[in-house]
C-alpha cells in the first residue's frame, strides 16, 4: 500500500532533481545560458520521472492501472511543475516588480520615486529587452532601426497574449 | 475507469468548472485584486467538489468506478489540480499586466519594414508605462508602503524580495529585471 504513495510523489521528486540540476548547471558551467539550463534540467528531471515510474511500477506497485495512464497523469503533473519552476526563474530574471522590490530591499531608508528611477528605468529595460530580442533573432536590426520580418515566435506569443487579454479582460492593454 | 483515469477525469473536470466560474465572474465584474480572486475561486471550487465527492461516497456507501474512493486518489487529484491551477495563475499574471517585450514587439511590428530606432522607442515607452504602475502595484498589494516621499517594503515585501535574492545568489545570477 505504501508503495502506491510513491507514484503520487514521483513528479515532486523529479521536480527536485530538475531544480538541483538547473542550479548546478547554471552555477558551474559558465557558458550555459539561463534558458538553456532550464530546458536541459527539465529533461533530466523528465528522464528521472520515467526511470522512477518504471522502477516503482514493475518492482513494488500494486496500482491497478496500466503504466501508460500512470505515466500520462504524472507526466502532465511534472510538466506543469516544471513550467512553474521556469516561470519562477523567469520572474527573477525579468519581472519589474521583483527588481524594484530588490532595490527597495537593498536600501535601509527606502527610496523615493526619483531614486528608484535612477537605479532602474524604462531606458534600461528597453536596452536589455531589445538586445535579447535581436540576439534571439526575433527582431532584426539594420542601420540602427529595429523591424520584424515574418512571424517570429515572440510576435506569435504577443498576439496570443493580446487575444487572451481580449477574451478575459475585454481590452488589448492594461492602459486601455 | 481505473485509478489514474479517475485522477485525470476529476482533476481536469474540477479545473474546467473553476475556469468557467472564473470566466463568468470576470464577465460580470473584473475583481480589483485579480490573483487573490483567482486563488479564492479555484480553491473554493476544489474544496466544494471534494466535499461533494466524499459525501456521495459516504452516503451511498457503494464504490463506483467514476468516484475516487481512496485517500491516495484524492491526494493524486489534489496534486494534479493544484499544479494546473498554479500554472494558470502564473500565466494569468502575464495577461494582467503588459510585459515590456510584448509592448515593444507590437510597436516595432506597427512600424513595418521601415523600422524604428531605439530613441523613438524610448520616447514611446517611458517610465510612466513601465515603472510607475509597477511601483503602484507594490503599494496596492501591500508589498510596500510610503513613509513621506520614500517607498519602503512591508514584511510581506521583504519576504518576497529575500526569496528571490536568495535564489539569484544561489544560481550566481545578476540582479535581473
Rounded to the nearest angstrom, the minimum Cα separation between B110 and chain A is 9
CA distance B69 to chain A (A): 13
Q: What is the mean pLDDT of chain A?
A: 89
Run of H or E including A84: helix A67-94
> Is residue A92 a contact partner of residue B103, using CB atoms and an 8 Å limit?
no
Instruction: Say whether residue A164 is in contact with chain B using an 8 A CB cutoff.
Output: yes
Task: Return the pLDDT at A61.
Answer: 58
| Phi, psi for B29 (deg, rounded to 5) | -155, 130
Cα angle B20-B26-B29, degrees, rounded to a multiple of 5: 140
pTM for this prediction: 0.88
Residue B105 CA from chain centroid, whole number: 24
| Predicted local distance difference test score (pLDDT) of residue B61 | 65
Q: What is the mean pLDDT of residues A104-109?
A: 92
CA distance B128 to chain A (A): 9
pLDDT above 60 (res A71): yes
d(CA A125, CA A141): 18
* A3 — pLDDT class (breaks 50, 70, 90): low
Q: 529595460: which residue's cell?
A: A125
CA-nearest residue of chain B to A153?
A: B105
CA dist B148 and B137 (Å) reads: 18
Return the axis-axis angle of helices B3-28 and B71-96, rounded to nearest 10°. 30
Q: Which of residues 17-76 of B touch A (CB under 8 A)?
A: 23, 26, 30, 72, 75-76
ipTM of the complex as predicted: 0.87
Could you give the 3-state DSSP secondary structure of residue A147? Answer: strand
The mean per-residue pLDDT over the stretch B122-126 comes to: 94
Burial status of residue A41 (CB atoms within 10 A of its CB: 0-12, 13-18, 19 or more):
buried
Q: At B43, list the grid cell.
A: 480553491
Of A27, A116, A122, the CB nearest to B122: A122
pLDDT of residue B44: 97
Asked if A26 and B4 come within 8 Å (Cβ–Cβ), the reply is no
Pick from B105, B140, B160 the residue to mutate for testing the A interface (most A CBs within 10 Å): B105
A64 pLDDT more than 60: no
Dig out the grid coordinates for B58 from the structure.
Answer: 459516504
Amino acid at each position: 500500500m505504501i508503495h502506491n504513495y510513491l507514484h503520487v510523489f514521483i513528479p515532486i521528486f523529479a521536480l527536485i532533481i530538475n531544480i538541483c540540476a538547473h542550479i548546478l548547471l547554471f552555477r558551474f558551467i559558465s557558458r550555459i545560458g539561463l534558458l538553456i539550463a532550464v530546458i536541459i534540467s527539465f529533461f533530466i528531471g523528465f528522464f528521472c520521472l520515467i526511470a522512477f515510474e518504471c522502477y516503482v511500477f514493475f518492482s513494488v506497485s500494486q496500482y491497478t492501472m496500466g503504466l501508460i495512464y500512470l505515466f500520462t497523469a504524472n507526466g502532465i503533473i511534472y510538466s506543469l511543475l516544471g513550467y512553474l519552476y521556469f516561470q519562477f526563474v523567469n520572474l527573477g530574471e525579468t519581472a519589474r516588480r521583483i527588481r524594484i522590490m530588490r532595490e527597495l530591499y537593498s536600501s535601509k531608508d527606502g527610496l523615493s520615486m526619483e531614486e528608484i528611477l535612477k537605479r532602474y528605468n524604462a531606458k534600461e529595460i528597453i536596452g536589455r529587452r531589445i538586445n535579447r530580442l535581436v540576439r534571439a533573432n526575433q527582431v532584426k536590426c539594420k542601420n540602427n532601426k529595429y523591424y520584424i520580418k515574418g512571424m517570429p515566435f515572440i510576435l506569435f506569443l504577443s498576439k496570443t497574449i493580446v487575444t487572451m487579454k481580449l477574451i478575459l479582460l475585454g481590452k488589448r492593454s492594461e492602459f486601455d | 475507469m481505473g485509478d489514474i483515469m479517475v485522477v485525470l477525469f476529476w482533476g481536469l473536470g474540477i479545473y474546467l468548472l473553476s475556469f468557467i466560474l472564473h470566466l463568468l465572474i470576470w464577465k460580470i465584474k473584473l475583481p480589483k485584486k485579480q490573483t487573490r480572486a483567482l486563488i479564492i475561486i479555484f480553491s473554493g471550487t476544489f474544496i466544494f467538489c471534494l466535499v461533494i465527492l466524499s459525501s456521495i461516497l459516504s452516503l451511498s456507501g457503494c464504490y463506483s468506478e467514476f468516484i475516487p474512493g481512496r485517500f491516495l486518489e484524492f491526494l493524486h487529484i489534489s496534486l494534479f489540480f493544484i499544479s494546473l491551477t498554479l500554472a494558470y495563475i502564473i500565466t494569468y499574471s502575464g495577461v494582467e499586466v503588459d510585459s515590456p517585450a510584448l509592448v515593444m514587439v507590437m510597436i516595432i511590428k506597427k512600424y513595418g519594414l521601415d523600422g524604428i530606432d531605439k530613441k523613438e522607442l524610448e520616447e514611446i515607452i517611458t517610465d510612466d508605462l513601465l515603472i510607475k504602475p509597477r511601483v503602484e502595484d507594490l503599494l496596492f498589494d501591500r508589498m510596500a508602503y510610503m513613509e513621506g516621499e520614500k517607498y519602503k517594503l512591508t514584511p510581506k515585501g521583504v519576504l518576497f524580495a529575500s526569496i528571490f535574492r536568495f535564489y539569484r545568489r544561489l544560481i550566481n545570477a545578476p540582479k535581473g529585471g
